Amino acid sequence: MQLISHVAHLLDGGAGLWLAPGQGQAPDGCVVVATSGSTGDAKLVVLHRDALTAAARAARERLGFDATWHLTLAPQYVAGLMVLVRGHLGDGVRTAASDLSGLDPAPGRNCLSIVATQLYRALESPSVTAMLARFDAVLVGGAALRPELRSRAEAEGVRVIETYGMSETCGGVVWDGAPLPGVEVTLGERGRIGIGGPTVFEGYLDDSGALRPSAVNGMVVTNDRGHFEAGRLVIDGRFDDVVISGGVNVDLAQVRRAVAALDPDTDVLAVDDAEWGARVVLFATSGTLASWRDDLRGTLPPAALPRQLVTLDALPRTGGGKPDRGILLGLVQS
pLDDT digits (tens, 9 = 90+) for 176-227: 999 999 999 999 998 999 999 999 999 999 888 888 888 888 999 998 999 9
Q: What's the one-letter identity of residue 174?
A: V
Asked if residue 264 lies in contact with residue 117, where contact means CB atoms within 8 angstroms, the answer is yes
Whether 39 has a pLDDT exceeding 60, the answer reads no
Residue 70 pairs in a beta bridge with 94, 112
Query: Do both 71 and 22 map to the same domain?
Result: yes
Which of the four pLDDT bands, split at 50, 70 and 90, describes residue 146?
A: confident
34: nearest Cα among 3, 74, 77, 72: 77
For residue 36, what pLDDT is reported?
62
Last residue of a domain, one of 237, 267, 291: 237
Whether 37 has a pLDDT exceeding 70, the answer reads no
Domain that holds residue 282: 246-333
Query: Do both 229 and 268 map to the same domain?
Result: no
Rounded mean pLDDT, 84-101: 95
- Is the pTM higher than 0.75? The answer reads yes
Work out how many domains the chain is built from and give that number. 2
Query: Do both 138 and 267 map to the same domain?
Result: no
Which of the four pLDDT bands, split at 50, 70 and 90, describes residue 135?
A: very high
Asked if residue 92 lies in contact with residue 107, where contact means CB atoms within 8 angstroms, the answer is no
149: nearest Cα among 174, 104, 119: 119
Query: Do both 214 and 83 map to the same domain?
Result: yes
Query: Do both 321 and 226 map to the same domain?
Result: no
Query: Do both 232 and 266 map to the same domain?
Result: no
Q: What is the CATH number of the domain that holds 326?
A: 3.30.300.30
Query: Do both 110 and 202 map to the same domain?
Result: yes
Cβ contacts of 82-85, under 8 Å, gap ≥ 24: 82/52, 82/55, 82/56, 82/113, 82/170, 82/171, 82/172, 83/113, 84/3, 84/4, 84/7, 84/8, 85/7, 85/11, 85/52, 85/53, 85/55, 85/56
Query: Do both 82 and 145 map to the same domain?
Result: yes
For residue 200, what pLDDT is reported?
97
Query: Do both 16 and 133 map to the same domain?
Result: yes
Last residue of a domain, one of 188, 205, 237: 237
CA 170 – CA 168 distance, rounded (Å):
6
Q: What is the CATH number of the domain that holds 111?
A: 3.40.50.12780
What are the backbone dihedrals phi and psi of residue 94, each rounded to the nearest 5 degrees, phi first?
A: -120, 155
What are the backbone dihedrals phi and psi of residue 272, each rounded to the nearest 5 degrees, phi first?
A: -60, 140
Whether 334 has a pLDDT exceeding 70, the answer reads no
For residue 41, what pLDDT is reported?
62
Query: Do both 267 and 128 map to the same domain?
Result: no
Rounded mean pLDDT, 106-113: 97
Rounded mean pLDDT, 305-330: 88
Measured torsion, CA atoms of residues 7, 8, 13, 16, in degrees rounded to the nearest 10: -10
Q: What's the one-letter identity of residue 151?
A: S
Q: How high does pLDDT run on average in the chain?
A: 92
Last residue of a domain, one of 176, 202, 237: 237
